[in-house]
């Protein structure tokens, strides 16, 4: 856990008053030290100003470590490359939630527990019917996950450790069922119930693509690809949606409501919505000869167009998840028998041209996890509107683990940032008849 340095402090000097203030430096187990400014306002009467939180550490966490300069991502000490190549999603879920990789017995227990929670309350089916059939599946996800707290009252007491565990397991177990139902609803097909003999990824694929009229066989290549995508998206430190979950949870809100808040935050195109935006962009570009035109647009400050799937707040190097995906895209397409996927060709050429361009090099803009994931998802058969939903399915375990860590942190307080007020000062009220 974090240690306050006995010797190192940072001094702040007010150049108007000459007053100096000392703040302790805290070291974690890896990564940059932080300046502990918790007494800043009490001592100086001033706040920090950090819109977008680019220099702010909001919490202590032992779950995920990122070194953005070096392109490193580790969960509980294990590299994402090792986890994606040697582990499976259920193990990664256990790791994120409980801190260590499971033993054989623990894995069996966890898998059984999750499998036994995959069904949703039958009454929830009626909730779907309230949505328009052409609703975006993310809109349905926000609504249905938020509604879970109305169905599972017996796991919403955040002060009861047993409730926290059950709610965590329920969320991880039910989210694929809810996501698959959101898809089925939008295409007008009957819901498919989960099947306990299948793995997490297989079950999700079956609930999404099977129909009662015929047998559905799951390709091992597809379920492996799905499982790997889930691992790559499982957690990512204090990103926008995770911070949203933590902030919502800091008031004591129940976990189902908090995860619904996280799903809302994830939906935006600057975050999880980017995988959908990448595919739309590749379709818009269409052919390789049009890439330079779009690169110029991305560089033009007056044009809102950005290269989707490029750039990251933390990674100033290749996003390690994108490296894993780039390699596995070819492998997955081969295994799926997809020959010469024009979008992959286009994406690779776009990446090559962008990386060689000074604009992207100077700003350290590299492909992020969303750049290649859409191509794999499309090959598996998902429509673009489901891409962010899949991200939400995978990220639920990360949100839940971070939420649980926060609730169990004795230093946890309600999250309440302050502001730099730039509005009107006090002014007299004028009755409506007298206003000009």
For the annotated catalytic residues, the residue numbers are 312, 370
Task: Please identify, using beta-carbon distances, which residue of 227 and 370 lies nearer to ligand ACO.
Answer: 370
Whole-number minimum distance, CB 217 to ligand ACO, in Å? 32
In angstroms, the CA 62 to CA 49 distance is 26
* β partners of residue 73: 66
Shortest gap between Cβ of 126 and ligand ACO (angstroms)?
33
Q: Closest approach of Cβ 238 to ligand ACO, in Å?
A: 12
Hey, is 65 helix, strand or coil? Answer: strand
Nearer to ligand ACO, 262 or 311 (CB): 311
Is 210 or 281 the residue whose CB approaches ligand ACO more closely? 281
User: Closest Cα to residue 407, out of 105, 157, 108?
Assistant: 157
Kind and range of the H or E run holding 75: strand 72-75
Query: Which of residues 158 and 240 has its CB atom nearest to ligand ACO in the complex?
Result: 240
Distance between CA atoms of 178 and 162, rounded to whole angstroms? 23
The C-alpha torsion from 231 through 233 and 235 to 240, rounded to 10°, is 180
Find the shortest distance in angstroms from Cβ 307 to ligand ACO: 4
Nearest approach in angstroms of CB 320 to ligand ACO is 12
Question: In whole angstroms, how far apart are CA 162 and each of 118, 158, 159, 241?
Answer: 18, 9, 9, 25
Residue labelled with tokens 């390699």: 327
Q: Which residue number, 24 or 68, has a Cβ lying nearer to ligand ACO?
A: 68
Residue 21 token pair: 């203030």
Q: What residues line the site for ligand ACO (CB under 6 A)? A: 270-272, 274, 298, 306-313, 363, 365, 368-370
CB-CB contact of 130 with 118 (8 Å):
no
**CA separation for the pair 229, 391 (Å, rounded):** 8
> In this structure, what are the phi and psi dihedrals at residue 78, rounded to the nearest 5 degrees?
-95, 135
DSSP-assigned states of every residue in 87-142: --HHHHHHHHHHSS---HHHHHHHHHHHHTT-S--TTHHHHHHTS-TTS-HHHHHH
> Minimal distance in Å, beta carbon 266 to ligand ACO?
8
Other Cβ atoms closer than 10 A to 208: 25
Phi and psi based region of residue 14 (left: phi greater than 0; alpha: psi -120 to 50; beta: remaining): beta
Q: Which residue is nearest to ligand ACO (CB)?
A: 311
Nearer to ligand ACO, 340 or 362 (CB): 362
- Taking the complex as a whole, how short is the minimal distance between the CB of residue 395 and ligand ACO, in angstroms? 9
Nearer to ligand ACO, 152 or 310 (CB): 310
In the block, residue with structure tokens 């894993």 = 324
């Amino acid at each position: 856990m974090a240690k306050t340095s006995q010797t190192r402090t940072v001094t702040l000097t007010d150049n108007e008053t000459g007053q100096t203030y000392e703040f302790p430096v805290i070291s974690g187990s890896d990564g940059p030290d932080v300046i502990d400014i918790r007494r800043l306002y009490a001592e100086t009467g001033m706040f920090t100003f950090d819109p977008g939180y680019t220099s702010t550490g909001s919490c202590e966490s032992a779950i995920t470590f990122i070194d953005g300069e070096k392109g490193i991502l580790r969960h509980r000490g294990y590299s994402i490359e090792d986890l994606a190549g040697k582990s499976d999603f259920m193990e990664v879920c256990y790791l994120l939630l409980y801190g260590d990789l499971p033993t054989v017995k623990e894995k069996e227990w966890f898998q059984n527990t999750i499998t036994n929670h995959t069904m949703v309350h039958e009454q929830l089916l009626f909730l779907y019917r309230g949505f328009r059939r052409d609703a975006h599946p993310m809109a349905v996800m926000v609504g249905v996950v938020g509604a879970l707290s109305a169905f599972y009252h017996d796991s919403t007491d955040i002060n009861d450790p047993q409730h926290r565990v059950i709610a965590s397991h329920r969320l991880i177990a039910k989210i694929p069922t809810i996501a698959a139902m959101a898809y089925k609803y939008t295409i007008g097909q009957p819901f498919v119930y989960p099947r306990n003999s299948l793995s997490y990824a297989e079950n999700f694929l079956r609930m999404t693509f099977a129909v009662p009229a015929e047998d559905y066989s799951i390709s091992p290549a597809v379920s492996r690809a799905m499982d790997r995508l889930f691992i790559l998206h499982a957690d990512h430190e204090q990103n926008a949606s995770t911070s949203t979950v933590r902030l919502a949870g800091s008031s004591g809100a129940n976990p189902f409501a908090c995860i619904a808040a996280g799903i809302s935050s994830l939906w935006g195109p600057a975050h999880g919505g980017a995988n959908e935006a990448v595919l739309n962009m590749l379709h818009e570009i269409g052919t390789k000869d049009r890439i330079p035109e779009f690169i110029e647009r991305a560089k033009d400050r007056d044009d809102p167009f950005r290269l989707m799937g490029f750039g990251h707040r933390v990674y100033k190097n290749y996003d390690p998840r994108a490296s894993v995906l780039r390699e596995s895209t070819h492998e997955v397409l081969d295994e799926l028998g997809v020959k010469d996927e024009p979008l992959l060709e286009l994406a690779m050429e776009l990446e090559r041209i962008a990386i060689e361009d000074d604009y992207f090099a100077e700003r350290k803009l590299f492909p992020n996890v969303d750049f290649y994931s859409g191509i794999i998802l499309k090959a598996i058969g998902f429509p673009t509107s489901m891409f962010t939903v899949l991200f939400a399915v995978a990220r639920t375990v990360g949100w839940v683990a971070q939420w649980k860590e926060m609730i169990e942190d004795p230093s946890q307080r309600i999250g309440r940032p302050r502001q730099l007020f730039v509005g009107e000062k006090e002014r007299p009220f004028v009755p409506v008849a007298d206003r000009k």
